[in-house]
Structure 1
Amino acid sequence: MKSLGANETEAILLLSRKFSETSLICELFTRKNGRVSVIAKGARSKKNKFQNVAAPNILANINYSGKSELKTLTSWEEIKYFQILGKNLKILLYLNELIFKLIEKEVKQEKIFDAVINFYKILELGEAKNIEISLREFEYFLICELGYGFDFQFDDKGKGIQKDGIYYFHPAQGFSEKPLNNFLKVSGIDIINFTNGKITSSSARSKIKKIMQLAITYIAEKPMNAGAIFND
């Protein structure tokens, strides 16, 4: 049985940019080694072995070499092409940017990698009513995996969230019953419904989206640029 090399791993493309007339610098998210920067030599040339490396919706098996921060891509083989179109493709690009901005380089994040691939599958199915809830759930999962999680079941005093309560949210504190300036006001029923996967009203969707945006902005070095997803 063939043994995998230290840098042979599954990967998806997060972002790419031109490098010289024929090559690309690609930011990859890998199962084995986390986020990695590679140069794909000749990727902009026709019939090059890396000509599809810049597609954002392909799961590939790759290998690379090098000890510097910028590695050299040595092999790329498509495993699966995800048929993601229209608005769902914009969501995929947002997701990729999220990973790029929040994941440290060369830190293994296998659980997050698996969650990303699972979300790609949801986008491929294209069931709009499930995608928004799944996106919010993924954002919350990512926030928690990175160590910045907040509790949707209890407030900052350890009291259970009440459906008829009014709470104020801050990403560093979670939900508080105490009115505070610059904190997001949200109803207890919306908080509870999110934990049960039942955010159906436009106002509830807007509140949960804002909660995730505040938390992501809090932990990101720079504001997200991909634009608003699911504007009401």
Structure 2
Amino acid sequence: MSRFKSSFVEDDCYVLHSIPWKETSSIIKIFSRNHGCISIVAKGAKRPYSQLRPVLLSFQHLLLAWKNNTSNIKTLVRADLGEIFLLPGDSLMSAWYMNELILYSLASEDSHPSLFDEYSNSLKYLCNKSNYKASILRRFEWFLLKEIGYGIDKSEPDFNNQGLEPVLRLDLRRRMETMLGGKELLTKKILFNLHYSTTSN
């Protein structure tokens, strides 16, 4: 990436969530590799011919630059597409689940580069329809809990062992409930219902 003046920060990022702001702008929660979760305002992003509109997409590797100030909401100054991920439709809910986990579990501007890399790898795995999505999610949950200090002191399990997955899922679910403090994730509820409706048919 090109060098910016010290008044700007640039980093590898993913869009986690976006809400409208005023008539033509958006406030976007991003997960950046070296600066953690940050809220940025993308001015004019909702305009029909805005150059930001086709770039600021969820589940795409982005190169973003924003003003380096002390405000809780930064101002976006540049956005470029990095690596493009083409997620199949049946992987989107799994990807949204990972986004929701990050939003609920990480403090603002708390850097987690290893978790960022794991998230990026998980998106790559989800692009391949032949990969077992449950194993991808268990791996991401395990790394997230270990990263934020929720008692994962065991050696890394074999996430590709489908016979181990139900036991691992139960253990991770208990740890997740402790970490979330009673908050219910919308995406997890939907995934749970989809899993049991599929297995019961």
TM-score band, normalised by shorter chain = 0.7 to 0.9
Residues in 1 aligned to 2:106 and 2:54: alpha-carbon distance in whole angstroms: 24
Deviation at 1:103, TM superposition (A): 1.0
Query: Greater Rg, structure 1 or structure 2?
Result: 1
Deviation at 1:99, TM superposition (A): 0.8
Picking from 85, 100, 103, the partner of 2:103 is 100
Deviation at 1:85, TM superposition (A): 2.1
Deviation at 1:46, TM superposition (A): 1.1
Q: Which of structure 1's runs of 4+ aligned residues deviate more than 4 A?
A: none
Residues in 2 aligned to 1:30 and 1:212: alpha-carbon distance in whole angstroms: 25
Superposition map of 1:70-219 within 5 A = 70-129=73-132, 131-152=133-154, 195-197=157-159, 199-201=161-163, 205-219=165-179
Residues in 2 aligned to 1:2 and 1:82: alpha-carbon distance in whole angstroms: 24
- Percent sequence identity over aligned pairs: 25
Is residue 15–residue 57 contact of structure 2 (8 Å, CA) maintained in 1? yes
Higher RCO structure (Cα 8 Å, ≥6 apart): 2
Moved more, 222-231 or 210-219: 222-231
Q: Which residue of 1 aligns with 2:3?
A: 3
Residues in 1 aligned to 2:161 and 2:63: alpha-carbon distance in whole angstroms: 37
Deviation at 1:53, TM superposition (A): 4.4
Task: Point out where structure 1 has 5 or more consecutive residues left out of the alignment.
Answer: 154-193
Q: Give secondary structure in 1 for the equivalent of 2:71.
A: coil
CA RMSD, 1 decimal: 2.2
Residues in 2 aligned to 1:33 and 1:149: alpha-carbon distance in whole angstroms: 24
| Count of residues paired in the alignment | 189
Picking from 23, 26, 31, the partner of 1:24 is 26
Is residue 12–residue 62 contact of structure 2 (8 Å, CA) maintained in 1? yes
Q: Which residue of 1 aligns with 2:53?
A: 51
Residues in 1 aligned to 2:45 and 2:153: alpha-carbon distance in whole angstroms: 45
Q: Which residue of 2 aligns with 1:160?
A: none
**TM-score, structure 1 length as denominator?**
0.74
Is residue 140–residue 149 contact of structure 1 (8 Å, CA) maintained in 2? no
Question: Which is helix-richer, 1 or 2?
Answer: 2
